[in-house]
Amino acid sequence: MLKKLAVTSADGACAELILHAPEAARVWLYWCPALGVTARQYRVFAEAMADAGIAVATHEWRGGGSSDRRAARARNWGYRELLDDIAAGVAQLRAECAPARIAIGGHSLGGQLAALALARDPALADRIVLIGSGMPWWQAFPVWQRPLLLAVFVWFRSLAAIFGWFPGRRVGFAGDEARGVIRDWARTGISGRYRADGLTLDFDAALRAVRQPGWAAHLQQDRLAPTRSLRELQSRLPAVAWTNEEFAAAQFETQRATHFSWMKDPQPVAAALSAWLHATE
């Protein structure tokens, strides 16, 4: 069953939550996209999960897709607002569908924000899922990439400040993002710590307190979220019992296992994840 729910955040921002729900599904996956990726781009993944008996609610980031907001000099937001949007989406899902269990997860930045949302509110979900995700801290990447990463963080943050928003489509990274999102992201990349403008929560301490079981997928050819980056993110959640899966190119029909390729050929990932979610139901 395909359904869309209208979600309104506390500040009035609206977006659609896309539901792929098989009959009598007990377990839901609340899914957070990668930066610059819209909810509808996870349709094939959501359908594969639904075929395996797991319902999926795909979140829409503020500023993209069905969202009624677009980044501009006069319209800005950061992680604080994105986390508020996740909380509003989960609340709407609970009100409309009364799921027995909810796992929260995401791809790339979506995985990080799913973890931060759970750290902020431990009652938000029962499980955490990461696919192609990791901490963007420059020291969590191969040595040869580190100078480039530091330069990227400074460059992107400067571009966002100059334009008043980040022109991602022009530079070929993510979408057109709010400068606050890029500022919060770059801060983590440079400092190795999670901080969000407008929030006083100590995320490092809150992440250490997360105890829900976790599942993580690493794609063998993923240069944007290498293994060390994933392990760095997982180390920030030391009380989580992690189940880790490594996916090689040969497991996919496309013979590719990159940061984005799995989205069009998600069956191996969906099969392993759905099996784990059913086993821990």
Asked if residue 179 belongs to a domain, the reply is: no
User: How many whole angstroms separate alpha carbon 241 and alpha carbon 104?
Assistant: 15
Q: Which domain holds residue 60?
A: 2-142+205-279
What's the DSSP call for residue 54?
Answer: -
pLDDT tens string 36-72: 999 999 999 999 999 999 999 999 999 999 999 999 9
Asked if residue 34 belongs to a domain, the reply is: yes
Instruction: Name the β-bridge partners of 101.
Output: 27
H helix or E strand, kind and range, residue 19:
strand 14-20
Radius of gyration of the chain (CA): 17
pLDDT band at 24 (very low <50, low <70, confident <90, very high): confident
Asked if residue 94 belongs to a domain, the reply is: yes
Asked if residue 79 belongs to a domain, the reply is: yes
H helix or E strand, kind and range, residue 131:
strand 127-131
Instruction: Name the β-bridge partners of 14.
Output: 8
Provide the domain count of the chain. 1
Question: pTM score, two decimals?
Answer: 0.97
User: How many whole angstroms separate alpha carbon 157 and alpha carbon 144?
Assistant: 22
Q: Which CATH number do you get for residue 36?
A: 3.40.50.1820
How crowded is residue 36: how many other Cβ atoms within 10 Å of its Cβ?
19
Asked if residue 128 belongs to a domain, the reply is: yes
Asked if residue 240 belongs to a domain, the reply is: yes
pLDDT score at 196: 94
Asked if residue 186 belongs to a domain, the reply is: no
Asked if residue 210 belongs to a domain, the reply is: yes
pLDDT tens string 133-165: 999 999 999 999 999 999 999 999 999 999 999
User: How many whole angstroms separate alpha carbon 227 and alpha carbon 218?
Assistant: 7
